[in-house]
Amino acid sequence: MIRVSVLYLRNEGKTFDIDYYSKKHMALVHEKMDGLGLKSVEVDRGLTDLSHSESPFFAIGHLLFESLEAFTAAFEVAGTDLLADMPNYTNVDPIVQISEIMPT
């Protein structure tokens, strides 16, 4: 199982609409990727860090897929539509990390 994490770094002059992202953009993610191997979606809203300062991230979105190959195939089909929706909720260039979920 892999997790695709999309991190939206909080920087001066950057904006992020968490309501649009969590409701409308994630609905679009489901619409475009549910039939393409998407297992689940989660959204983290950044609150604070350990020093109780503002979180370094506006939000982090997580997509779960069975494999890197499954995600790559799904993104080839749906990626253009998902990327085209970004200006509706942010002007941040996200950081993307793809991780293998390890047993503990």
Domains in the chain: how many in total? 1
Contact 15, 91 (CB under 8 A): yes
Angle at 25 between CA 35 and CA 100, to 5 degrees: 60
pTM score: 0.94
Q: Which domain holds residue 96?
A: 2-100
pLDDT in tens, the chain (104 residues): 999 999 999 999 999 999 999 999 999 999 999 999 999 999 999 999 999 999 999 999 999 999 999 999 999 999 999 999 999 999 999 999 999 999 99
Sign of CA pseudo-dihedral 43, 10, 91, 80: negative
Compute the distance between CA of residue 71 and CA of residue 49 in angstroms, rounded to an integer: 30
Task: Count Cα atoms within 13 angstroms, Cβ side, for 73.
Answer: 11
